Amino acid sequence: MSTTEKPAASNDGTGVFSPGRARISAKTLRVDNWWVQPTITFIILLSFVIYSTWRAFANADYFSMPYLSPFYSPCLADSCPPGSQDFGSWIGSWYAWSPALIILIFPLGFRMTCYYYRKAYYRSFWMSPPACAVAEPHKKYSGETKFPLILENVHRYFFYAALVFNVVLTWDAIASFRNPQGEWGHAGLGTLFLVGNATLLWLYSLSCHSCRHAVGGRLKHFSNHPVRYKWWTMVSKLNTRHMLFAWLSLFGVAFTDFYIYLVASGAITDPRFF
Amino acid sequence: MAYDASFRVWRGNTNGGELTNYKVSVNEGEVVLDIIHRLQQTQTPDLAVRWNCKAGKCGSCSAEVNGKPALLCMTRMNTFTEDETVTVTPLRTFPVIKDLVTDVSFNYQKAREIPSFTPPEGLKPGEYRMQQVDVERSQEFRKCIECFLCQDVCHVIRDHEDNKPAFSGPRFFIRQAELDMHPLDTASRKRDAQEKHGIGLCNITKCCTEVCPEHIKITDNAIIPMKERVADAKYDPLRWLGAKIRGRQPGDVE
């Protein structure tokens, strides 16, 4: 026994409605909750953007000896509080705005051009496409062939910059094994945040697709480069979890900064372990 | 446990068509292709469907089930509830011929546009001993059964018919990656990938990987490495400078 459903309405003749294709009125026939994942991604990323913008412009409550917020590290301006300038103050006094406004260019550039985050924001913010086999709303599409999206190709340079920042943040984690008087051999709850943050950032950076390419992916003859092949194999294993590390490190940075904000603003007192 | 399932199957051709509702019996262990065959045998002998191996290895029975690109022979009926209506349509990226059969010649045209394996001139059989580590990356791509589900789901051409001349699609990016990663291949594939096959149009949203029935990591292991190789050849000033100093072409690798 059969019955038929006529197409409900005409369409614009593009995409899945292009001439010659099966005439089906629905833009998608998916019946699962395909919109949930891009919605969650949108909410989380937008929350991070709002939070980081607020903290970057705040220019306050980012240092409480021995903890320096990752949003403000390395703090290189004269305006940085005493004790936070472990790498000097060679930017000097001419720079009067928040140090985070310069610093965040690099880690945000790394994440904006990251192959995983590209998938995340193309789907959730630009809906290009919102989900697989769900028609996107745009009439024209040029992908990453034109300005500004062709700049995604500089991802490797942001990766190199991220390595430098990872070294700095690793130092910050080591430096957090001090007490508020600057004496070594102490630790508090903030130390755990900073060590966890640095660890997650290293995992995120080393699992990067550009890292995988640089250490050996560009080679044709692995057998001629056994050491680089070994590196490539290790990075490839990390690379399968790049999405996981991308999210964990994002949360890690945000929570570390928020913890230091709470301590620096006096809202809480940092519990000391030893 | 046998039951009567509700099916909606697209029936039509280039002149038009519609989703047609059927009630058809389902037995334990069956796949969607079994149900389509039962429809042919019992209710609609003129229903057109392309199929061959019924084992997920020939890539013939590609279609869309509940809006998702899938092989009919690999979509098990026990993934649906008994009261669920199962919608089966042809691939929505390619021109329809009849019912569930589409014209996928776009893909064969794109295949012809990729230069075949190009070993060094004068290299004779037996003169090169291949190491396993040199070919294992490419072996993943050889699993492709050319079902073209990745091509079907790719929004670059699914949602933009006008991109078809400029874009080859995920299946052919893994072909180019396979050849470019081959130790003996000498063809210039990096610039071709960008300039002739449109890899820059890909925004790596990974739908191709999600639908691949062979579980090939198309995006992570083929498209992104090719994008990085394209960046070597076209967008990296330090690589360009290094190549100039060493008298090579940007993107040449050891």
Residue A154 domain flag: yes
For residues B216 and B174, the answer to whether their CB atoms sit within 8 Å is yes
Residue A87 lies in a domain: yes
CB burial readout A22-40, b (16+ within 10 A) else e: bbbebbbbbeeebeeebee
CB B231 to CB A156 under 8 A? yes
Whether A235 maps to a domain, the answer reads yes
Chain A residue numbers touching B131 (CB-CB < 8 A): 222-223
Q: Answer yes or no: is A53 within a domain.
A: no
Task: Note whether residue A1 is domain-resident.
Answer: no
Distance separating alpha carbons of residues B218 and B224, to the nearest angstrom: 9
Q: Please give chain B's pLDDT, 254 residues, in tens.
A: 799 999 999 999 999 999 999 999 999 999 999 999 999 999 999 999 999 999 999 999 999 999 999 999 999 999 999 999 999 999 999 999 999 999 999 999 999 999 999 999 999 888 888 899 999 999 999 999 999 999 999 999 999 999 999 999 999 999 999 999 999 999 989 999 999 999 999 999 999 999 999 999 999 999 999 999 999 999 999 999 988 898 877 666 65
What does pTM read for this prediction?
Answer: 0.94
- The domain containing residue A245 runs over which residues? 64-265
Structural domains counted in chain A:
1
Whole-number Cα distances in Å, B191 to A4, A34, B186, B200, B203: 50, 36, 13, 11, 18
Chain A contact present for B6, CB below 8 A: no
The answer to whether the Cβ–Cβ distance between A221 and B159 falls below 8 Å is no
Cβ–Cβ gap A129/B205 under 8 Å = yes
Which chain A residues are Cβ-neighbours of B96 within 8 angstroms? 20-22
Residue A51 domain-assigned? no
Q: In this structure, is residue A31 part of a structural domain?
A: no
What value of ipTM does the predicted structure carry? 0.93
Identity of the residue in A132, A149, A221 whose CB atom sits nearest the CB atom of B211: A132
Secondary structure element (H or E) that encloses residue B87, with its range: strand B85-89
